[in-house]
């Protein structure tokens, strides 16, 4: 099936923290291979492998110094080949991170580009002359703090870096750069990978005139965000229209490898849904995109409904990939804890919710254990963002701590050495082994609900239509080929009773429903309760909270 990704479930593996095989405290490819049976037991369709290519690790692999070599920290190309082979033997696809908006400053391309203004790669990065007073050419800030421009005395110019100073941005306005990065994608496709997660996919192009960004009026009216990056509308530094033509070139390459797919990361707080829709519409661009709309603190029915409806209004034939957690944000179990009667109840409800939305799904390693965010001391941090903006922004280390595998003391089978980040008691207590034999565990629930969803084509591919219901209830129905599924979620720690007008007599709850009961046309939902009811597509319903 060439469109396995449509409605599929992807499991993100963060290699540094999954399983260490050699005792150096950092996870690696042989470690992932040794844990493939655990991944397979979840019933997912695909692994997303965070960066494993050669890197100085200034940004944990998102600063690439050689696109076609595996970093020795993680293993070898032979280990990668074995991982692909072993995953495919278990019916699991593998997509890998590709960070092509920028490289490490140690990359050969940049080493040559910075040497002079006349060498063969002089225009492969974004270089600009200073203003008459020597200042940078415009006001663009870097995500990780400071100006996005760094001075190079050899060339007598500034270069652009949207992230760390050691992560110079490639110049996608140069066709040779586009050709080079497409050659990188081809290298891995020919090696057997099933596609790519494309990092910062809307950062590829910048405004050729280097116009300054305007301020964000919302920020000016309110309290300042921790980073000045959030004080601007990034109208010119990213999300440029030229991106669409490059995405068409990337899709044409992927289409040469039937069954391959692409997931683009869209980072733009002002128009991420519109960009997601534009980047996945038409069948000639990316297969899927995700943004950060569900990776923040908002946990309301209005928020979920409005984001989904806006996406499909902007691109009816586009396709999203929804996720609640990943390696860049605090784990959702902790972000949304204020809305939960308990963290396990929230873990169950949020899995049921993300699996019932229209789109594909990405789960982050450790979700299946109900892992909360790890509380770290400043001296335990490794993330440059957290180190720079502490304590207002504690960075990304809290969601990146190692997977706990075995019962007992930390690091719970992750490594025989000292882990690169600590395993704290809250995570240690939720190890895979401690949950494996418990039918009521979060891990058992994940396996059960993922298996159930595989039998529900309506949830993978069906249309979605929302009911007008008051907070905190989110209600919608999915419809496909004459069948529909009613999906209702109580997004609160209090109980609610609903009236389901038009519900057929004898309607029953699907077995994965939680803290829910139907009596006639009345539905009782306990704290963080939710209900699934299979219906005929012709059934006319209304949903309301009972007074």
pLDDT at 68: 98
Q: Record the tokens describing residue 330, joined without a space.
A: 């605090």
* Residues 6+ positions from 233 with CB-CB distance below 8 Å: 213, 214, 215, 216, 270
pLDDT at 221: 59
Among the listed residues 202, 191, 193, the one whose alpha carbon sits nearest the alpha carbon of residue 247 = 202
| DSSP secondary structure code for residue 34 in this structure | H
- Give the Cα separation of 385 and 379 in Å (integer): 14
User: Which ranges constitute the DSSP H helices of 49-100?
Assistant: 77-89
CA angle, 539 as apex, 470 and 494 as ends, to 5°?
25
Q: Are 85 and 188 in contact (CB under 8 A)?
A: no
- Give the Cα separation of 180 and 249 in Å (integer): 12
- Give the Cα separation of 313 and 348 in Å (integer): 29
pLDDT at 547: 66
Q: Are 107 and 166 in contact (CB under 8 A)?
A: no
- Give the Cα separation of 463 and 359 in Å (integer): 10
Which residue numbers are catalytic? Answer: 199, 256
CA angle, 280 as apex, 191 and 365 as ends, to 5°?
60
Cα–Cα distances in angstroms (integers) from residue 162 to residues 14, 25, 212, in the given order:
23, 30, 14
Phi-psi region of 61 (alpha: psi -120 to 50; beta: other; left: phi over 0): left
pLDDT at 224: 63
Give 179-210 as a DSSP string: HHHHHHHHHHHHTT--EEEETTGGGS---TT-
Phi-psi region of 377 (alpha: psi -120 to 50; beta: other; left: phi over 0): beta
Taking the chain (547 residues) in runs of 10, the rounded mean pLDDT of each run is 92 98 98 98 98 98 98 98 98 98 98 97 98 98 96 98 98 98 98 98 98 89 74 96 98 98 94 96 97 97 98 96 98 98 98 98 98 97 94 94 97 98 98 97 98 98 97 98 96 97 94 97 97 93 90
Residues paired with residue 362 on neighbouring β-strands, in sequence order:
10
List of domains in the chain: 9-101+175-205+240-454 (3.20.20.80), 463-545 (2.60.40.1180)
Among the listed residues 348, 384, 366, the one whose alpha carbon sits nearest the alpha carbon of residue 424 = 366
pLDDT at 537: 86
351-388 burial: b if 16+ Cβ within 10 Å, else e: bbbbbbbbbbbbbbbbbbbbbbbbebeeeebbbbbbeb
* Residues 6+ positions from 246 with CB-CB distance below 8 Å: 172, 178, 204, 205
| DSSP secondary structure code for residue 147 in this structure | B
pLDDT at 427: 98
* Residues 6+ positions from 488 with CB-CB distance below 8 Å: 473, 474, 475, 498, 516, 523, 525, 530, 531, 543
């Amino acid at each position: 099936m060439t469109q396995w990704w449509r409605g599929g479930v992807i499991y993100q593996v963060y290699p540094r923290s999954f399983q260490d095989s050699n005792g150096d405290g950092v996870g690696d490819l042989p470690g992932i291979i040794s844990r493939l049976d655990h991944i397979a037991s979840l019933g997912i369709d695909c692994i997303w492998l965070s960066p494993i290519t050669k890197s100085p690790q200034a940004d944990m692999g998102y600063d690439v110094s050689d696109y076609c070599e595996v970093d020795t920290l993680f293993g070898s190309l032979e280990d990668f080949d074995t991982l692909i082979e072993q995953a495919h033997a278990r019916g699991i696809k593998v997509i890998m991170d590709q960070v092509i908006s920028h490289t490490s400053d140690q990359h050969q391309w940049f080493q040559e580009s910075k040497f002079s203004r006349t060498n063969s790669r002089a225009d492969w990065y974004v270089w600009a002359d200073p203003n008459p007073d020597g200042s940078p050419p415009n006001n663009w800030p870097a995500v990780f703090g400071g100006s996005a421009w760094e001075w190079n005395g050899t060339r007598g110019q500034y270069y652009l870096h949207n992230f760390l100073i050691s992560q110079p941005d490639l110049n996608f306005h140069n066709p040779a750069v586009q050709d080079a990065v497409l050659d990188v994608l081809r290298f891995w496709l020919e090696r057997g990978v099933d596609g790519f997660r494309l990092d910062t996919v809307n950062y590829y192009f910048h405004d050729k005139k280097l116009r300054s960004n305007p301020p964000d009026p919302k920020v000016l009216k309110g309290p300042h965000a921790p980073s000045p990056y959030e004080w601007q509308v990034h109208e010119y530094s990213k999300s440029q229209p030229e991106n669409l033509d490059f995405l068409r070139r990337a899709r044409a390459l992927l289409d040469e490898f039937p069954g391959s797919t692409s997931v683009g990361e869209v980072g733009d707080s002002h128009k991420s849904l519109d960009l997601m829709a534009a980047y996945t519409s038409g069948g000639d661009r990316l297969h899927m995109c995700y943004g950060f709309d569900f990776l923040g603190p908002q946990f309301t029915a209005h928020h979920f409904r409005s984001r989904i409806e806006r996406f499909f209004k902007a691109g009816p034939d586009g396709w999203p990939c929804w996720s609640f957690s990943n390696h860049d944000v605090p784990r959702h179990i902790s972000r949304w804890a204020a809305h939960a009667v308990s963290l396990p109840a929230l873990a169950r409800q949020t899995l049921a919710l993300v699996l019932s939305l229209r789109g594909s799904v990405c789960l982050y390693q450790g979700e299946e254990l109900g892992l909360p965010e790890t509380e770290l001391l400043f001296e335990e941090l490794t993330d440059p963002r957290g180190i720079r903006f502490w304590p207002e922004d504690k960075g990304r280390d809290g969601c990146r701590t190692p997977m706990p595998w075995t019962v007992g003391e930390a690091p719970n089978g992750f490594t025989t050495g000292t882990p690169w980040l600590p395993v704290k008691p809250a995570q240690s207590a939720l190890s895979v082994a401690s949950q494996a034999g418990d039918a009521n565990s979060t891990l058992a629930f994940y396996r059960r609900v993922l298996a159930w969803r595989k039998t529900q084509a309506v949830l993978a591919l069906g249309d979605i239509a929302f009911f007008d219901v008051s907070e905190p209830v989110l209600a919608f129905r999915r419809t496909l080929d004459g069948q529909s599924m009613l999906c209702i979620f109580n997004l609160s720690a209090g109980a609610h009773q609903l009236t389901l007008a038009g519900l057929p007599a004898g309607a029953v709850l699907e077995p994965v429903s939680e803290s829910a009961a139907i009596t006639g046309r009345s539905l009782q939902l306990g704290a963080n309760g939710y209900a699934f009811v299979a219906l005929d597509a012709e059934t006319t319903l209304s949903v309301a909270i009972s007074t």
